Copies of this chain bind each other. A is one copy, B any other.
Amino acid sequence: MRIVIDAMGSDRHPVPDVEGAVLAARELGAHDRLILVGDQARIAQELNKHDTADLPIEVVHASQHVDMHDNPTQTARQKPDSSMLVAMKLVRDGQADAVVTAGNTGAALTLATLHTLQRIRGVRRPALTSLLRVENNQLVVMADLGANPDAQPEWMFQFGVMGSLYAQHVLGQTRPRVALLSNGEEEGKGNQVVRQSAALFANSNLNFIGNVEPKEVLQGAADVVVTDGFVGNVMLKTMEAVGEAFFRVMRRELLRNPLRILGGFLISPVLRKIYKQVDPFEIGGAPLLGVNGVVIIGHGRTNAKGIKNAIAQARRAVEGNLIEAIRQGMARYIAQYSSPAPAKPRRRYLARRRHKPIKA
């Protein structure tokens, strides 16, 4: 297996990106390779800080990198040699099996969807997902987390289909429970897109369990939680914000007097355990579902552990043969539903594909 890492992705690139790759490489088997893409000199400088002898790490040079201020729709043209684009091309061209980036999420979405990997046939819109660790260490797949702020019911349904396949093939759940995030559990609750999506889910062969509220999500009532990109993003960021606020107040208050410091010391295993639960870098990144390749997108503020865990996620997705599972799932979807996605890609994709065929 070959996993390519955008070494210039994170806010503090290439430091955590390279260190994360080094940490991951130490855990890899003999047949697995990591490919770091980015400024060769700066990557070499970082690699030199670590003992990388015998580690299965390669470097591919890219002279540019996407940053947070780049307009996602223009980055392919403006930065044709960006590390993110070069990394994705390696996957498109079959030279790598998966890509990990902690860069600009919008750019990653655009570069993957429109410029390199393209959508899997039948997929209306790719979905950014997140894995939440909830009660009893259960992992929950949430989609969409921001790729589609205004989602249509059919897209939402497809998020559920892809999320369910992810839960099956990567997380090993046999019959994932799929739910819609809503403002009430009762049938009929929700905004318009939720109510219309519910009808599609109810008539499908997914294991649809209805609406869930945020509380049920955190209690692990569902394995796959479907939401539009705006609501999903707000929910995810609210969870992060509450977690951060909690630890900020905790830290400030615990340092107020010696008895509290002692108390804090005694309960530190508890605090660490809770922190692990809310720490976004514990999981590492969010798979982008619906494109012809494994793409894991990490948080810009990630650290080395986050990158390492994102690489581990990429490995599981490749091992679980996720892309093939989604291709087959979508083919069944097209055969089954009366309103299939267009069978042929739009013309401009077609034109591009003639020159650069996508490897299956």
User: Hey, which bits of chain A sit against chain B, CB under 8 A?
Assistant: 135, 146, 149-150, 181-183, 190-192, 194, 213-215, 217-219, 228-231, 233-235, 237-246, 249-250, 253-254, 259-260, 262-267, 269-270, 273-274, 277-278
Contact = CB atoms under 8 A, between A and B. Distances in A.
B183 A149 contact: yes
B242 A270 contact: no
Contacts of A213: 237, 241
Contacts of A230: 182-183, 190-191, 194, 231
Q: Identify whether the interface residues of A are mostly helix, strand, loop, or mixed.
A: helix
Contacts of A274: 246, 249-250, 253
Given A146-B183, A214-B234, A242 B243 contact: yes
B254 A260 contact: no
B237 A192 contact: no
A183 B229 CA distance: 9
Contacts of A242: 218, 238-239, 242-243, 278
Given A149-B183, A183-B229, A274-B246, A214 B190 contact: no
A238 B235 contact: yes
A304 to B, nearest CB: 23
A235 B240 CA distance: 12
Nearest to A213: B237
Contacts of A219: 245
B183 A237 contact: yes
A181 to B, nearest CB: 7
A267 B265 CA distance: 10
Contacts of A235: 234-235, 238
Q: Which of A182, A213, A218, A230 has the most CB of B within 10 A?
A: A230
Contacts of A239: 238, 242
Given A183-B234, A183-B237, A230-B183, A149 B270 contact: no
A276 to B, nearest CB: 11
Given A259-B266, A267-B267, A215 B240 contact: yes
9 contacts: A217-B241, A231-B231, A234-B234, A238-B242, A242-B242, A246-B246, A249-B270, A249-B277, A266-B266
